[in-house]
Chain A
């Protein structure tokens, strides 16, 4: 089958109009996967709280590993099933922990996912959200070593992919949370979520994703539809378990022994929101001369191509246009042949 392997990025915590909420870029990912035949994307795109979907044309890769893939440090290997372990932050209240364990049991019984075991961190992770998260949400955790030790414990028991559930501060009444729920502003916790999953990817090199543990919040009748997927259950764990259930294995390069399903050299394009060209995967794509498809998708950043002047960049108005570009690339159609006016071919000097 003809494919045009493509990376699809929507950076976490920059308030993207499409993809800045609860899995609200998942339909777009399905569109781009259909156009390309092979899409590599990350949990922020795919996770809709309780809702998610598998797609045979989508590789679900955590953001830190996705950057390493774009750089060319790792390849991806398809698996039929991951053996998932869950790390629970010891700060999670017992009732909320039970809710999460029931979600894991439900995913085994209803979806046939292999959730193997769980471990509780020795010390609370202690989430610290940046007070200034208005432009890009961020923060850290106080006890990263406890997170990594818990992950090592799971891997020693044969787990091949890790879901992490961390307790987040109860700020359901904060102005940031309410603004986010009504479809404005930046997801205030997603930056720390990225840090947590990046730590597991960096130090343990296995597929992983994070779901926050939050107390149930009051009904909001002005809820934006894009944030609705996070309001229909007790936990956000189902989408993480669905995504990880057959997430590809990480293969360190160079590799002589592992079968590889997708090598980074096969990537042809990266789709990214306009203004968000300052991430590592995009810069790695530029190093390799890949097509960068920059899509108008309102967000808080303004890192655009006017600072780079990169020639292989296509600025498009929406993801439907991006899908068209990918199709043209896949079929080897000159994009200039589609646009009007159509210039005559150039004569070049033969004096050298």
Chain B
């Protein structure tokens, strides 16, 4: 097993409710590896007219 740290940017569309945000992030992170540690470290509001927010996630993944 090898570990890597990534800074991962993810668009959070308005269609994803807050109560589903964790699951949404995990689903996207798991495409990149086995998740050891993660956290949202920054959010930018409304990057488009649809109200999409941009998340910056720092994660440690195992491969």
> Interface on A for B, CB 8 Å cutoff?
11, 64, 71, 130, 135-136, 138-141, 144-145, 194-195, 198-199, 202, 277-280, 283-284, 286-287, 301-303, 306-310
Closest residue of A by beta carbon distance from B36: A198
Within residues 11 to 55 of chain B, which ones have a CB less than 8 A from any CB in chain A? 18-22, 25, 36-43, 45, 53, 55
Closest CB in chain A relative to B8 CB, distance in Å: 12
B41 near A195 (CB under 8 angstroms)?
no
Please classify how large the interface on chain B is, using the bins under 10, 10 to 19, 20 to 34, 35 or more: 20 to 34
Q: Within the assembled complex, what's the spacing in Å between the Cα atoms of A139 and B36?
A: 12
Q: Within the assembled complex, what's the spacing in Å between the Cα atoms of A94 and B41?
A: 39
Top 9 A-B residue pairs of the complex, sorted by shortest distance between their CB atoms: A278-B40, A283-B22, A140-B3, A307-B43, A287-B19, A279-B39, A278-B39, A144-B1, A198-B36
> Interface on B for A, CB 8 Å cutoff?
1-5, 18-22, 25, 36-43, 45, 53, 55, 57-58, 60, 62
Given A144-B1, A308-B18, decide whether A195 and B60 contact each other with a Cβ distance below 8 A. yes
Q: Within the assembled complex, what's the spacing in Å between the Cα atoms of A279 and B26?
A: 12
Pick from A139, A145, A194: contact of B1, CB below 8 A.
Answer: A145
A195 near B22 (CB under 8 angstroms)?
no
Pick from A71, A136, A199, A283: contact of B58, CB below 8 A.
Answer: A136
Q: Within the assembled complex, what's the spacing in Å between the Cα atoms of A211 and B23?
A: 32
B58 near A303 (CB under 8 angstroms)?
no
Pick from B25, B36, B38, B43: contact of A199, CB below 8 A.
Answer: B36
Closest residue of A by beta carbon distance from B3: A140
Q: Within the assembled complex, what's the spacing in Å between the Cα atoms of A306 and B18?
A: 12
B42 near A302 (CB under 8 angstroms)?
yes
Interface SS of chain B: helix, strand, loop or mixed? strand
Closest CB in chain A relative to B26 CB, distance in Å: 8
**8 A–B contact pairs at CB < 8 A?**
A130-B5, A138-B60, A140-B5, A198-B36, A198-B37, A278-B55, A280-B39, A286-B22
A303 near B43 (CB under 8 angstroms)?
yes
Q: Within the assembled complex, what's the spacing in Å between the Cα atoms of A184 and B38?
A: 24
A280 near B22 (CB under 8 angstroms)?
yes
A138 near B40 (CB under 8 angstroms)?
no
Chain A contacts for B2, CB-based, 8 A: 144
Given A136-B58, A195-B60, A198-B36, decide whether A278 and B43 contact each other with a Cβ distance below 8 A. yes
Q: Within the assembled complex, what's the spacing in Å between the Cα atoms of A153 and B60?
A: 25
Given A145-B1, A286-B19, decide whether A140 and B60 contact each other with a Cβ distance below 8 A. yes
Closest CB in chain B relative to A279 CB, distance in Å: 5
